A = this chain, B = another copy of it.
Amino acid sequence: LWWEGTAGSGTLHLLDQRLLPAREVWTQFQSVDEVARAISDMVVRGAPAIGVSAAYGMVLAARSGGGLAAARDVLARTRPTAINLFWALDRMRRVAHGGGDASPERLLDEARRIHEEDAQGNRRMGELLAARIAPGASVLTHCNAGALATGGFGTALSGIFVAHEQGKKVHVFVDETRPRLQGARLTAWELERAGVPYTLICDNMAASLMARRKVQLCVTGADRIAANGDAANKIGTYSVAVNAAHHRVPFIVAAPLSTFDLATASGQEIPIEERAGGEVTEWGAERTCPGRAQVFNPGFDVTPASLITAIVTERGEISPVDGPHIARMMAGA
């Protein structure tokens, strides 16, 4: 994901993640409505990447002369769970309101700062995470928390990339991540490009691997972390965490500080997006279940803090995961 050109005439480029790994198609965006639709339709997904894309969307809104408040509303309605979206929109709002100058140039500067900070944070998270990966270890991950999900090279995957660079011979078990297969489509694609050895599994095979002691570490991203450390992430993450606890495998969440929502006391208050049933019942033109089937399709689940060994942020590790330790990290202490 990148911005090309000036605030006045530039464009946001997004790699259409729905088409990977079969095709690499980049699309250019010139209006905030198009960006909002790209987020809703998951052309771009991953909490930090959604935040960065929305920030660039505000630049497009400003230069079209449309109202910034209306643009914020359109973007805020796209996906309810990822808090980074609202965090990025708040940063853009502060710039707009700061000195009255909401010029596209100033907004683009801020969007670029958000993007650049995210990328730098990824690198720092990667170094912290890599320190937890022993040479020859196998790491299990769920969904995609790599370059496609962020403004840099990833949250959960950052540590894997750094460990790989360090010659640690890390191996990755990739949950395919039903229903949209972000693991099979996106994480596998990123790992293959980086030359990191990996094995694709169905989500329901992770427990079996842990029972065979094939997994030394689980790491995922997060879409929103409550003040007490409960973490919302892609549906299926919670099952990984329960199984990791049962098998005494460390379960790590990697997320920038922009993922924390101190206004939300616990995971029970995090809104969970429910998505269309067709994501579960349809494969291209084929329907895999009877026509009248009811479907439950939450996009996310919540892993309680008690099951999270540590949260790795760009400022350091939070462990144990609880309210006081989170508050201290957020305060920069």
Contacts and interface: CB of A to CB of B under 8 A. Distances in A.
A199 to B, nearest CB: 5
Contact of A203 (B204, B208, B281, B292): B204
A202 B238 contact: no
Contacts of A9: none
A188 B199 CA distance: 30
Contact of A243 (B198, B199, B242): B242
A287 interface: yes
A25 interface: no
Interface string A183-218: 011001100100001111111111111010000000
Contacts of A177: 204
A301 B214 CA distance: 14
Contacts of A70: none
A296 B243 contact: no
A202 B203 contact: yes
Q: Which of A177, A204, A235, A245 has the most chain B CB atoms closer than 10 A to its own CB?
A: A204
Interface residues of A, number: 55
B205 A296 contact: yes
B205 A236 contact: yes
Contacts of A208: 235, 238-239, 298, 301-302
B235 A239 contact: no
B242 A188 contact: no
A246 interface: yes
A289 interface: yes
A21 interface: yes
A280 interface: yes
Given A178-B203, A207-B301, A293 B188 contact: yes
A202 B236 contact: yes
A6 interface: no
A308 to B, nearest CB: 15
Contacts of A197: 294
B205 A298 contact: yes
Nearest to A178: B202
The 10 closest A-B pairs by CB, nearest first: A204-B236, A207-B239, A178-B202, A184-B289, A208-B301, A203-B204, A192-B290, A188-B289, A199-B294, A283-B283
9 contacts: A173-B296, A175-B204, A181-B288, A199-B293, A200-B295, A204-B239, A205-B235, A242-B246, A283-B284
